[in-house]
Amino acid sequence: MAIFQQILFIAVLGTVAWLGYRRVSLIRSTILLGKPEDRTDHPGERFSTMLRVAFGQKKMFDRPLIGVLHFAVYIGFILINVEILEIVLDGILGTHRLFAPFLGGFYPILISFFELLAIGVLLACIIFLLRRSVTKVERLQPVRHREMNGWPALDGKLILVFEIVLMIAILTMNAADLVLQDLGSPHYRQTGDFFFSQFFKPLFTGLDENTLIIYERFAWWFHIIGIFVFAVYLTYSKHLHIVLAFPNTYFSRLTPKGKMNNMPEITAEVKTMLGIETPQTGEAAAIPDRFGAKDVQDLSWKNLMDAYSCTECGRCTAACPANITGKKLSPRKIMMDTRDRLEDAGRNMLANGGKFVEDGKSLIGDYILEEEINACTTCNACVQECPVLINPLDIILQLRRHKIMDESQAPASWNMMFQNLDTNQAPWKFSPGDRFNWAAGLEPKE
């Protein structure tokens, strides 16, 4: 029986590893559809940012209570999974509580600490589930935010229920184990009581040994398979940010949030128009194939990593003045739509031997509406609010540049401003020579 369990476990582990590798490889390939961009400068500053924002959850603590709850789930998720190492080795080797003899009296203390974290995760997930389902936090509700309809709303609830069930499985598994230890059952080595699960022992006291073994083995398998399923499910869910938050914050922009990336070829032309000298390279500036971005291939790889890193928390949308005033723009939807396009691109690549084949779709038009990007005021509120340093504004600006510069589809009210900029070097309809007329007579009297 033990040999059969070992073989079964190794088969399950191998299957999960293959599925995970296949999915991660596809995500990497879709991210690399984006244009190259160098984000390797100032490694020390980047590493510091990653530690503060991704590991330290700095921006989550802007809302202290939610920050503490989120931190409990986050740290619990990371540290509890240290226990998974022992479970995996037990499954491969056919042992039980492999580390107990090596750690001695410290082993029950360590497991008790993991149980404390499990209790913290359990309580935090229950509170988060109540916030979504009972108190109904506005930014998470599909009634107000159409991008949260269907799967996105269900995904958030499913993962919370899943984590609650997994934490219960850990605690009851340990409780059944302790009762079997008390009975002197073979294979269940003496470790001493664990602080929290010992209070669940009465649930199993009085059951015969075979029933206890069946439940303990069931809980063990349920827990480890649940972790494996979660690991694969993670790559399809918004919870991929648990992993991608680290590289995403490391490669985030180090320049001030309000600084926009200008287009070099346009900057040179504007400087020439204003009479500002520019370095002479001896070569005419290359004309790009496309101004701005029409599809994901026109964005940078970092823009695409941003899309996969989105937590769907809605803080960006809640702070967006366009959204607050009833416009269609939702920065969260921009990121979710970009990820949806990447998912479609991934399926395209799977069907065509790893190569993307033109499918007649584009990010702007088929996923994101022109009305959405035109509503943006470029205030950077969404960039400021994001807990993992995503920049929705960069994508919006590039899509808008394409619509205006490549397709000449700007709102009529904008065209007059563009014409004035072209002829008067200012948004206003008067000669540059009259620009300072408003200051006439304001000179200080001697």
The whole-number pLDDT of residue 283 equals 55
- Considering all CA atoms of the chain, what is the largest pairwise distance in Å, rounded to the nearest integer? 104
What average pLDDT does range 230-253 have in this prediction?
92
- For the stretch 93-116, pLDDT in tens is 988 898 999 888 899 999 999 999
User: Closest by alpha carbon to 74, among 86, 50, 56?
Assistant: 56
Instruction: For the chain, give every domain's residue range.
Output: 2-27+41-250, 291-424
- For the stretch 295-313, pLDDT in tens is 999 999 999 999 999 999 9
Q: What residues form DSSP beta bridges with 368? A: 364
Residue 276: pLDDT band with limits 50, 70, 90: confident
What average pLDDT does range 253-272 have in this prediction?
81
- For the stretch 322-365, pLDDT in tens is 999 999 999 999 999 999 999 999 999 999 998 999 999 999 99
For residue 281, pLDDT over 80 is answered with no
Q: To 10 degrees, what angle do helices 64-80 and 82-93 make?
A: 20
pTM for this predicted structure? 0.86
| Rg of the chain, C-alpha, whole Å | 28
Determine whether domain 291-424 maps to CATH 1.10.3470: no
Percent of the residues in the chain that have a pLDDT greater than 70, as a whole number: 96
What is the Cα–Cα distance from 414 to 403, expressed in whole angstroms?
Answer: 12
Mean predicted lDDT score pLDDT of the chain: 88
For residue 1, pLDDT over 60 is answered with no
